[in-house]
Amino acid sequence: MKSVDAFRKRLRELGLAGANHPSPLLCDDEALPAPQSPLSRPVQFDGFRVGNRFCIHPMEGWDATPDGNPSEHTCRRWQRFGESRAKLIWGGEAVAVRHEGRANPNQLLAASHTKSGLARLREKLLTAHRDCYGSTDDLLVGLQLTHSGRFCRPNDRAKLEPRILYHHPILDRKFGLPSDWPVLTDGEIRSIIDDYVAAAELAADVGFQFVDLKHCHGYLGHEFLSAFTREGPYGGSFENRTRFLRETVEGIRAAVPSLALGVRISAFDVVPFRPDPESSVENAPGIGVPEDFSTCLPYHYAFGVSPDNPVEYDLTETFMLLQCLNDMGIRLVNVSCGSPYYNPHIQRPALFPPSDGYQPPEDPLVGVARQIAVTRRLKERFPNMILVGTGYTYLQEYLPHVAQHIVREGHVDFVGVGRMVLSYHDLPADILRGNAFDRKRICRTFSDCTTGPRRGLISGCYPLDAYYKASEEAKTLRSLKAKSTRNE
């Protein structure tokens, strides 16, 4: 799309904007520089002053050392986050609270032997920011804490070692879990809570200002929210399904009262998707279709989903979750959705699917608009909360035009950027300086940052970042992709 008008026309064609639309996706005519841009306005809350409205989302690189310390690639990524000019760093990337909860054998770990490594990583980011912008006084940096639950691969990139809370009729089948696979006991859950508390203490000790208790993307925290069918204190009622969250918060507050808390949520979900074999063309995977859920109704296996029609979202419990966070004095919430493992088109709208994905079943702009509209509804209901929005990368050239409009209207507090900063890390700086866009670095959602790790490689922007483009991994990735195209 060559102009803002063409972009707006496309939004209207897709039914995402128009005269009587209840929640249209709107954008400004031009991206403004600081200080005119609403994106340059600081936010104050809970004793923090955050210098602008850009947030860097957490993004793993699958590139830590086997013992969970940062590698040179990890350090480079965090350094670039610091150079970006974004003033909110939401966690850097997911850091596992124990080895068995790692999503891959190269995920960062929070443990005594990684403490100085994590401190170094944070320091790299701060130094880079200070060198570029003079001060870090208005920079807020947190650490994302995670346990990967159903998607643990701690020892071998190709081998799932799931820690599940309940048996899921579709995900068990999809990921080959036998019906007698053990579920985590209540005692094991309590010891995981202890790990979160220890990791939070460590994060506070090395200077992180907040930790995110990750509740999104199908990982353990998120799975608690959908543990309708689990017996005992951590399953069934909404109160029980949020007990893990509440007990973790209580534990951290008792151990490190000064540490701020945030939560990244999957505000809504849909049933898992799969490629439709009927629609496979020219060796590409088919278009995404929902897995058969006809024998699973009412659907009690996802959070923020209509139980009678689980391809539609339902925010009833999402509102309850935000109320629960609000009641605990947690105002900082990063709003995401779905899972990259079973419905990536919802979570990371993209034109090109990852290698284990499917062709987009909708225009990716529909996915972007869905995330923006849901976040707006949450903000309207909880104006006091500080919300970070997700899913902006696919907007490409029009990211600043949309982001600026939404922030000005107060529909979100921070605009989170994910994939875009892997290819174009200083995009926030360019926007705020009023520089012309470096179009060659705009993420075109090729999904190689996801395909790489799915094929056992480190993550990064292979098509556009020279650092990865020139690497041995890039050659391996090209040949793996070529091979799989021939075989499929």
Ligand X SMILES: Cc1cc2nc3c(=O)[nH]c(=O)nc-3n(C[C@H](O)[C@H](O)[C@H](O)COP(=O)(O)O)c2cc1C
Question: Which residues sit at the interface with ligand X, rule CB under 6 A?
Answer: 57-60, 93-94, 144, 214, 216-217, 264, 336, 348, 390-394, 417-420, 449-450, 459
Closest among 420, 472, 467 to 446, alpha carbons compared: 420
77 vs 243 by CB, closer to ligand X: 77
Query: Least Å distance between CB 340 and ligand X?
Result: 7
Look up residue 75 and give its two tokens. 């350090």
Nearer to ligand X, 242 or 390 (CB): 390
Phi and psi at residue 56, to the nearest 5°: -95, 120
The neighbouring-strand residues paired with 49 are: 44
CB of 407 to ligand X, least distance (A): 15
CA distance 212 to 224: 16
User: Is the CB of 129 or the CB of 214 nearer to ligand X?
Assistant: 214
Nearer to ligand X, 92 or 235 (CB): 92
Q: Tokens 């063309």 label which residue?
A: 281
> Nearer to ligand X by C-beta: 375 or 390?
390
Q: Tokens 């860097």, residue?
A: 56
Give least dist CB 190 to ligand X, A.
24
* Min CB(108)–ligand X separation in Å: 9
165 Cβ contact list (under 8 Å, min separation 6): 149, 183, 184, 220, 223, 224, 227, 230, 234, 235
Name the residue among 294, 319, 314 with its Cα closest to residue 302: 314
Q: Where are the alpha helices (DSSP H) in 168-242?
A: 171-174, 186-205, 220-225, 238-241
Where do runs of H (alpha helix) occur along 383-434?
A: 399-408, 419-423, 427-433
CB of residue 459 to ligand X, shortest distance in Å: 4
Q: 469, 466, 421, 459: which is closest to 442 by C-alpha?
A: 421
Residue 15 CB, nearest approach to ligand X (Å): 21
Tell me how far, at minimum, the Cβ of 388 lies from ligand X, in Å. Answer: 10
Residue 131: CB atoms within 10 Å: 11
Take residue 89 and report the two structure tokens written for it. 């760093």
Residue whose CB is less far from ligand X, 37 or 393: 393
Between the alpha carbon of residue 350 and those of residues 339, 362, 367, 419, 446, the distances in Å are 14, 10, 9, 10, 7
At closest approach, how far in Å is the CB of 135 from ligand X?
A: 26
- Return d(Cα 273, Cα 361) in angstroms, integer: 10
* Residue nearest ligand X by beta-carbon distance: 418
Q: Cβ closer to ligand X: 235 or 420?
A: 420
Between 43 and 449, CB nearer to ligand X: 449
